[in-house]
Amino acid sequence: MESLDLRVLADALAWKRGGHAVTLVTVVETWGSAPRPPGALLAVRDDGVVSGSVSGGCVEDDLIARTKAAFHSGAGAHDTGLPSMIAYGVTKEEAARFGLPCGGTLRLVQEPLRETAWIEQLLAHTAAHRLVARTLRLADGEVTLADAVRGQTMAFDGSTLTTVFGPKWRLLLIGAGQLSQAVAHMASALDFEVLVCDPREEYATTFTIEGVQRVPGMPDDVVRELLPDAHTAIVALTHDPKLDDMALLEALKSAAFYVGALGSRRNQAVRRQRLAEHFDLSADELARLHGPVGLAIGAKTPAEIAVSIVAEIVQVKNAVGAAVAQAPGCTTV
């Protein structure tokens, strides 16, 4: 599950603490083509304010109207209500009315948020980079949490709904130069947690981007202490082998889903030979290195190169092959 859904839960928690009634809505099934996948989450506040999305905007207005009506008709009783099912786009007429693309159909679970202890616990676990499975029993609204495993997906059998929440995607940049700043801006906009390591004070002291954390120390030590997992990307951008190579050595032996390094094809060939000859890296580990880093889009300026780097990270993150093309906003299920 994307970190966007963690933000939805954080908003729902804040609203509940502020005295509002809140309803959570989860996509559980789709047919045809649907703009949001199963597991996508929406929170609706009693005054109609929303966080997240279940349809890309197609049915949210109707959900807001339903939720506000339920809150106002039952006063505070909605907080003690039970989860229920909602379906949209069952007929072609409904699909056209709600603007579902390609005649798509959605089934949703609507859940009054009764207590928040599970949200607090879930957010704490994911902040510690743990995968969490959250199970909702529709018969009584009981929520339980358990550890999830990599690759586990949403499951719904009509009576229980299990959704998986993963830690926020994070990106460690080795180097604090102009290119790193451009990459950090773009990755932050994509909701990555961005960390920057550069022991060269002349670079690091000028790197000030809100929300981006500077990590002190030598790059290889920082990578090792970070304990990179399958939600972590690491990119070396200093152009200094003394800094980049040691960080790459640790990164390529880690569980990081993406490891990249700046440099020309010739420099990358020399780097691979150097890493193979002087360090204990296998052929498979070396093959994980994305170098030259980024997609081949003819990038020239720092901003263009940053686009190519971030685009390749997203491509790998989403496990999308270069030959696969899919219309934006229309996910075939």
The answer to whether 228 and 234 have CB atoms below 8 angstroms apart is: yes
Q: For the stretch 300-326, what's the b/e string if a residue is b when 16 or more beta carbons lie within 10 angstroms of its beta carbon? A: eeeeebbbbbbebbbeebeeeeeeeee
- Per-residue pLDDT averaged across 157-165, rounded? 93
- Structure tokens belonging to residue 181: 């700043």
Nearest to 82 by CA among 9, 12, 159, 164: 159
- If you search the block for the tokens 């700043």, which residue do you land on? 181
Task: Give 78's DSSP letter.
Answer: G
Q: Are 71 and 64 in contact (CB under 8 A)?
A: no
- Residue 74's pLDDT is what? 58
Distances (CA, A) of 47 to 69, 78, 79, 111: 10, 13, 14, 16
Could you tell me which residues come within 8 angstroms of residue 17 by beta carbon, excluding any fewer than 6 positions away?
Answer: 116
At residue 195, the pLDDT reads 96
pLDDT band for position 208 (50/70/90)?
Answer: confident
Model confidence over 97-149: pLDDT tens digits?
655 555 567 889 999 999 999 999 999 999 888 889 999 999 999 999 999 98
In degrees and rounded to multiples of 5, residue 327 shows phi and psi of -60, 130
- Phi, psi (5° rounding) for residue 232? -120, 135
- The upper half-sphere exposure of residue 244, i.e. CA atoms within 13 Å in the direction of its Cβ, equals 23
Q: What three-state secondary structure class fits 86?
A: strand
**pTM, full prediction:** 0.73
Cα distances (angstroms) measured from residue 243 to each of 42, 219, 239: 43, 6, 8
Which of 29-33, 34-38, 45-49, 87-91 shows the highest mean pLDDT?
A: 45-49
Whether 33 shows a pLDDT value over 60: the answer reads: no
Q: Nearest-CA neighbor of 173 among 209, 136, 125, 127? A: 209
Residue 50 host element (H or E): strand 50-52
Angle at the Cα of 260 (from 257 to 261), degrees rounded to 5?
160
The Cα 176–Cα 49 span in angstroms is 39
Q: 285-292 long-range CB contacts below 8 Å, 24 or more apart?
A: 285/252, 285/253, 286/252, 288/252, 288/259, 289/248, 289/252, 289/259, 289/260, 289/261, 290/258, 290/259, 290/260, 290/261, 290/316, 291/260, 291/261, 291/262, 291/263, 292/262, 292/263, 292/264, 292/265, 292/268
Alpha carbon distance 307, 305 (integer Å)? 5
The pLDDT of residue 151 is above 90: no
pLDDT of residue 137: 95
Tens digit of each residue's pLDDT (9 = 90 or more) over 52-103: 888 766 678 888 888 888 777 654 444 558 999 988 875 556 656 655 555 5
Q: What is the mean pLDDT of the chain?
A: 85
- Report all structural domains of the chain as residue ranges with CATH numbers, in order of start: 3-130 (no CATH), 170-317 (3.40.50.720)
For 12-38, the DSSP string reads HHHHHHTT--EEEEEEEEEESEESS-T
Q: Can you give the pLDDT at residue 261? A: 94
**Strands 143-147 and 232-236: what pairing?**
unpaired
Query: How far is residue 294's CA from residue 191's CA, in Å, rounded to a whole number?
Result: 19
